[in-house]
Structure 1
Amino acid sequence: MLAGLVGTNAANLKDAIAGETYEHTTMYPGFAKQAAKDHCTAAKTLFTEIAGDEGTHAAAFTVALRSLTNPKVKVPKPPTVDPVVITASTPACPGTRTQVNLLAAMHGEAFAYAKYTAYAAQAARH
């Protein structure tokens, strides 16, 4: 929050919607297309699945944004997500653009998690 990333609840939701929409429509579909070119089938499948997830997130954030100005709009309870254990392994698709994209995705998702956690803390205070 000290970095100035956290704003009003509406601004935070608009930022989240924009980010999730970009990931849904552009970033992850592009990563999937590159993975297909690099013959990285598992990565293509993963990126395609994540693109769909990001669309679901954008839709949920849109409902949350609408709920700020319309008390009749109810935000559904988020789904329970089981943690995933990540173990050290041989890098997927070494030497390809897909490997670079996999690393970018991991870093981006970690940053989004931190940012959304700060947004949630702000929302809980107001």
Structure 2
Amino acid sequence: MVDNVREIKDGLFPFNGDELHQLSFLLNYAILAPSHYNAQPWRSRLSNNGLDIILDKQRVSRFVDPHSREAVISCGAAIGMIEVAAHYFGFAVNINYENTANSDLLAHINLAGHYDPSADENAWFHAIKIRQTNRK
């Protein structure tokens, strides 16, 4: 991770690194995802099997979001940022969404070969770092 993710240098993507290094780099873009009350209610876990996105219930307000609905939507935004960034760097992704009431694991992500992003997808990627929350 970098100190200021808005200043991340896209040219530093570890094309020659292994999948774990590449997924770790992509997490920088997840941090920029919009989230309810900017809580960033997700945790990540890297392993030899890929990247897990986990709901962090300690970052969910039981008064404002008692059923964690907004938090799960925020986690989905983080997953989406990872996918957009992976596409920009030329990687397809496999995202397996979990649906179990007994686990906070929401998704498992792997890189899945080459991907040619469209011009629109490249524009979405460049919008990630300039997106700002506006509460108006």
TM-score by length of 1: 0.38
More strand by share: 2
Structure number, greater radius of gyration: 1
Question: RCO higher in 1 or 2 (8 Å CA, sep ≥ 6)?
Answer: 1
More helix by share: 1
